[in-house]
Amino acid sequence: MTQYQILPIDPHAHLFEVILTIEKPSGSELELYLPNWIPGSYMIRDFAKHIQWLKAESAGKPLPVRKLDKARWLVENTEQGAGQVEVRYQVYAWDLSVRGAHLDQTHGFFNGTSVFLAVKGEEESQCKVNIERPRGQAYKNWRVATGLKPAGDTQEFGFGWYLADNYDELIDCPVEMSDFRLISFEACGVPHHMALTGRHQVDETRLKNDLIKICEHHIRFFGEPAPVDRYIFMTYVLGKGFGGLEHRNSTALHCSREDLPLPCDDPEKVKDSYQTFLDLCSHEYFHTWNVKRIKPAEFLPYDTQQESHTELLWAFEGFTSYYDNLALVQTGIIPIKQYLLSIAKTITTVQRARGRLIQSVTDSSFDAWTKFYKQDENAPNAVVSYYSKGALIALCMDLLIRKLTNNQKSLRDVMLRLWQDFGQPQIGVERDSIQKITLEVCGGERQTELEQFFQLALYSTDELPLAELLKTVDMELVFQPRNDRNDKGQVKDEMPHNKPKPSLGIDYQTANLGITVKSVYWDSAACEAGISAGDQLISMNDLRIDNDEFTKRLAECEIGETVIIRGFRRDELMRFEVTLRPSAADTAYLVYGSEEKDQSPKLKQWLTA
């Protein structure tokens, strides 16, 4: 057994100290390593750089330690057979994210990938961890939230010994320690908890009731019993924050204070920010099946030392994104119109990304490590999100399967097959598994139509048949020029006729003087005139521009008019002659295609569980 002791030795200096004890070293050399990435977040993060020092000893005598590469150490245990080896090291923890480790006087959080060195060859043996309370009166009310199993006389949420069956489980169970608020409930008879750290107010009852609905919905979606015997949401509430990372029986979340429901909120309405938070909880919870148990073959097992490329993130993130807010409407937490608005916004997001014209979702999945996760100023032109386009592919598949089977089957039947054939027996999903299962679910009928759909949706950059498929549920999809800068898509009773406005084709943010260009869309008026990302634009037709004025002044111009824009590139003043173009029809409007509007039987059949 590999044994770890972790002590938040100096919260003010953000330091954890870890003692790793190897009871019976098997050879004269011990190789230790830390993962270079954390499963679920596909980027090399070199966690080992935060190990400040490391030393090893046996029976009180120091052992020589040699670094093999950025994340591997070799301990020379010449006295082999003499007894156990103890390795001691300190980890700097000041990464405020769900992916790393963070420690101060208000809380401690860590992923095993940041703090627990693996012992090569021992990855399959059981691990025991002693999670110690920081020293001092200030920490007497702290508790521990983790998916690890308490061992010995350790109380639930207490400091003390915990167990993991192997190293993979150890690094898949992050730990939160603080005086968190604890909300506990049961879903389908399984105990669930949400630990909320950080200053906040919350309507506990409302949050608890909504979480019960979501968790029970997902458990019943895949079928009881749940694959976990306990689940914990670890939520860090910040002034501004958003993010989550899925784990086998827990999730680490960041949210903004305003995302939580408040006792004074209108109980009849789910505010946008709260919907965002519930979407996130629902998303990470759905991952308990889709990616934590149903996995791409490339992740069985994970190679945490280097990039693991898979073409399938469109399914693991896309299907999860599709079902995260579908669960909210199917459980009645949000009304149909609010759900349709989310769909309109997702369609708009994909439509506005010019990268959809040059990158397929399978390529986006494969290259996630260097493209999606390392987006630069050219990302809008070069990258398509496998989350949002993947969600739209899921939407198309759901509606297409319903259409082809006369509503006898749906995408859920594909998910159930993935769960039964791959998730439960722990078999990796191959690149064509989902296509094969879908053909089988549809009973071999219309094989060509399905094969053409997959070719188009997964391997090409052609438009998805969204409009055609949304018609089958009585919705019309039309693309319109945006109404204003905040228009991200809408749901309408009647067909809109927005007029295009003069457009530059840039993304920007306000600067001290004028505006700073974040991105220039390829083939836009700004691109043609030579405006580039990073340029600080200060005047249009010799009048100063800032955020509001710029939008207003631009709206007063004519399409086809040439304006003179001046701005700085680095410290050099530049002059651009820009011929304004009509704004693109890139905003998705969903229009009710039947008299019954959101009471349409076809729409209700799809959107009620």
> Which residue, 86 or 317, has its beta carbon nearer to Zn ion?
317
Task: Tell me whether residue 311 or residue 598 sits nearer to Zn ion (CB atom).
Answer: 311
CB of 315 to Zn ion, least distance (A): 11
Please state the closest distance from residue 454 (CB atom) to Zn ion, in A. Answer: 22
CB of residue 316 vs Zn ion: minimum separation in angstroms? 7
Asked if residue 301 has a cis previous peptide bond (ω within 30° of 0), the answer is yes
When the beta carbons of 386 and 422 are compared against Zn ion, the nearer one is 386
Q: Is the dihedral of CA 67, 69, 70, 74 positive or negative?
A: negative
Which string of DSSP letters, residue by residue, matches 191-204? Answer: EEEEEEESS----H
* CB closer to Zn ion, 14 vs 287: 287
Which range touches Zn ion (CB under 5 A), out of 259-267, 309-317, 346-354, 510-518?
Answer: 309-317
Does residue 429 sit in helix, strand or coil?
strand
Site size toward Zn ion, by CB under 5 A: 1
User: Whose Cβ is closer to Zn ion: residue 192's or residue 247's?
Assistant: 247
Distance CA 172, CA 164 (A): 9
Q: Using a CB cutoff of 8 Å and minimum separation of 24, what contacts does 362-366 make?
A: 362/311, 362/312, 362/314, 362/431, 362/458, 362/459, 363/311, 364/313, 364/314, 364/389, 365/310, 365/311, 365/312, 365/313, 365/314, 366/309, 366/310, 366/311
- Which residue, 211 or 590, has its beta carbon nearer to Zn ion? 211
- What minimum distance in Å lies between the beta carbon of 387 and Zn ion? 7
Q: In terms of CB distance, is 89 or 387 closer to Zn ion?
A: 387
Q: Is the CB of 73 or the CB of 366 nearer to Zn ion?
A: 366
Distance separating alpha carbons of residues 176 and 301, to the nearest angstrom: 26
Closest distance of CB 235 from Zn ion, Å: 16
Residue 288, classed as helix, strand or coil, is coil
Of 103 and 252, the one with the shorter C-beta distance to Zn ion is 252
Smallest gap from Cβ 221 to Zn ion, in A, equals 16
Answer whether 127's CB lies under 8 Å from 164's CB.
Answer: yes
List the beta strands (DSSP E) in 72-202: 72-76, 85-92, 101-103, 108-110, 118-119, 127-131, 143-146, 149-150, 160-164, 175-178, 181-187, 190-197
Nearest distance in Å: CB 364, Zn ion: 14
Supply the Cα-derived Rg of the chain in whole angstroms: 27
CB of 358 to Zn ion, least distance (A): 24
Rounded Cα gap, residues 404 and 202, in angstroms: 45
Selected range binding Zn ion among 6-14, 120-128, 311-319, 460-468, rule: CB under 5 A: 311-319
Instruction: Look up residue 499 and give its two tokens.
Output: 């007029």
- CA distances to 86, 326, 545 from 339, in Å: 55, 7, 37
CB of 345 to Zn ion, least distance (A): 18
Cβ proximity to Zn ion, 77 vs 388, nearer residue: 388
Number of residues assigned to the chain: 609
Closest contact distance (angstroms) between CB of 244 and Zn ion is 7
What residues from 312 to 371 belong to the interface with Zn ion (CB under 5 A)?
317
For the CB of residue 287, give the shortest distance to Zn ion in the complex, in Å. 6
Residues in Cβ contact with 376 at an 8 Å cutoff, skipping those fewer than 6 apart: none
- Residue 577 Cβ vs Zn ion, minimum distance, rounded to whole Å: 45
Output 37 or 589, the one with its CB closest to Zn ion: 37
Q: Write out the two tokens for 48.
A: 């080992």
Q: Which two tokens stand for residue 165?
A: 């069956």
Inter-helix orientation angle 411-418/318-330, to 10°? 120
For residues 561-588, b (16+ Cβ closer than 10 Å) or e, as one string? eebebbbbeeeeebebebebbebbebbb
Reported in sequence order, the residue ranges of 221-361 that DSSP labels E, i.e. its strands, are: 231-238, 243-246, 250-256
Nearer to Zn ion, 178 or 290 (CB): 290
Residues engaged in binding Zn ion (CB under 5 A): 317
